[in-house]
Structure 1
């Protein structure tokens, strides 16, 4: 019996899905590391926002992160190219929350 997950057809499907996801995610300024750090539920919502059925394995997410890293490196080498411009970076905050700075006590702080 053939294991569908390890067929050439399945590998091509994962690669196609990774490209679709990477195209959407890159436009939002999300890095490969940030993508992989997202909770699985957030990644599923992100895939749906990209009009893509959420991947069922991490293999596709890892491939997507690699594509994001490749595109980032390419964009650095070609800063004047129109394809190196992200158009939806304002949406990053919807997916990747900035770190919260802890309260600090400093000069003039009351305890």
Structure 2
């Protein structure tokens, strides 16, 4: 008996979930590489924000990342198409934090100066 994870029905479910996630994430300007670099807890929160039950395997997340990369490539080729316009890109900062530039304080003055 084959386990559920390797059935056609399960593959269809993963593909459907990946499409829902990719649609939500792409509107927010999140790339496939950024998605895969996120910690699992953040990915789960993202899935819930997309009204989707969080995937239990990395297979669905990998498929989502591939779909994001495909949509990015398509959007670059068709920049004037309405579907190539992101509506929520300002929300990206909620999920993907830019690298922090370290701030270095000047060395303290020696005593007696």
Tell me which interval the TM-score lies in, with the shorter structure as reference length. Answer: over 0.9
TM-score when scaled to structure 1? 0.93
Listed one character per residue, the Cα deviations across residues 34-69 of structure 1 (whole Å, up to 9, x for unaligned) are 000000000000000000000000000000000000
Distance in 2, matches of 1:104 and 1:86, equals 37
Listed one character per residue, the Cα deviations across residues 55-108 of structure 1 (whole Å, up to 9, x for unaligned) are 000000000000000000000000000000000011001100110001257xxx
TM-score when scaled to structure 2? 0.92
Distance in 1, matches of 2:49 and 2:103, equals 34
Structure 1 alignment gaps of length 5 or more: none
Structure 2 alignment gaps of length 5 or more: 108-113
CA-based RMSD of the aligned residues comes to 0.9
What is the aligned partner in structure 1 of residue 44 from structure 2? 44
Aligned with 2:69: secondary structure? Answer: helix
What is the aligned partner in structure 2 of residue 12 from structure 1? 12
Distance in 2, matches of 1:45 and 1:76, equals 28
**Number of equivalenced pairs:** 107
Consecutive aligned runs of 4 or more in structure 1 exceeding 4 Å deviation: none
Bigger Rg over Cα = 2
